[in-house]
Chain A
Amino acid sequence: MSIKISTEAFDPYQEIQDYQNARTGNIGAVGATSIFIGTMRDFNEGAAVKGMTLEYYPGMTEKQLERIITEAQQQWRFIDCLVIHRVGNILPNESIVLVAVWSSHRGDAFDASRYIMEALKSKAPFWKKELLVTENERWVANNTNGYNTPEIPG
């Protein structure tokens, strides 16, 4: 299990490849890999967005992410997991978050990765401040519940 907070832009596909390559012991046991990548949009809540700053609480953020992974391990059987979250100044189309879960069977990979992602959205201390194309700045007020409120592109 690995948690990384990245102050630099990261390539989630390369990170997954590197992580898998370093863990040859998992070969044979893994039958399912579920990957979620969150990417910065150039629009939000009706406004054009040109950049974002992500603040976090060093120490608490990692601690809460570890707790979330432990909770997932208590509910589903999976072999490994990698969580990467970007902080600092971010541009549209850059990756914000990666959650990858490796398991023997697809149900555990799907469900554990979904759980980790939704719990991250509601419990891990990160805060987004958007820089709009109009040059105004605004804090994102809260995250929606991903299970109940699908976001409609607008």
Chain B
Amino acid sequence: MSIKVRYFASLKESVGRSEDDLTFTGLLTVNEVWNRANLGKPLPGNILAAVNMEYVEFDNIVKDGDEVAFFPPVTGG
């Protein structure tokens, strides 16, 4: 399976890239996607996650072709 992982704002700066393409077999949760893409680097505590542009919990299972995003609390307006 293949998914796209995206990072935004301060998290993009701290991981040093804006996206990853991740290929894997079996089932992965959003949390495992982070670990796979970031080689076990701890996920900062306040980070939010989205799959296909909808907010999700970190135990959600991802599917082939999904776009998974990680980002800090939003600060618009």
Q: What is A's interface to B at a CB cutoff of 8 Å?
A: 38, 54-57, 59-60, 63-64, 85, 96-97, 117, 120-129, 139-143
* A143 with B75: CB separation less than 8 A: yes
Q: 17 A-B contacts, Cβ less than 8 Å apart? A: A60-B54, A63-B54, A64-B53, A97-B76, A97-B77, A121-B74, A122-B74, A123-B74, A124-B74, A124-B77, A127-B72, A129-B10, A139-B75, A141-B72, A142-B75, A143-B73, A143-B76
A63 to B60, CA, bound (A): 20
Partner of B76, one of A59, A60, A63, A121: A121
Q: Please state if B77 and A121 are interface contacts (CB–CB under 8 Å).
A: yes
Q: Contacts A57-B69, A129-B9 given: A120-B54 contact, CB under 8 Å? A: no
On whether the beta carbons of B9 and A59 are closer than 8 Å, the reply is no
Whole-angstrom CA separation of A122 from B75 in the bound complex? 7
What's the least CB distance linking A49 to chain B, in Å? 13
- 14 new A-B contacts at CB < 8 Å, known A85-B77, A126-B75, A139-B9: A38-B77, A57-B6, A57-B69, A63-B54, A96-B76, A96-B77, A97-B77, A117-B77, A121-B77, A125-B74, A127-B8, A127-B71, A141-B75, A142-B73
Size category of the B interface is 10 to 19
Is B74 a contact partner of A143 (Cβ separation < 8 A)? yes
**B50 interface residue per 8 A CB criterion:** yes
Whether A139 contacts B72 by the Cβ 8 Å rule is yes
CA distance A117 to B77 in the complex (A): 7
In the complex, are the beta carbons of B10 and A127 less than 8 A apart?
Answer: yes
Q: Which residues does chain A contribute within 8 Å of B46, judged by CB atoms?
A: 142
Q: Name the residue of chain B whose CB is nearest to the CB of A87.
A: B76
Chain A residue with the shortest CB-CB distance to B74: A125
CA distance A96 to B10 in the complex (A): 20
In the complex formed, the residue of B with least CB distance to A97 is: B77
Closest to A126 in B: B76
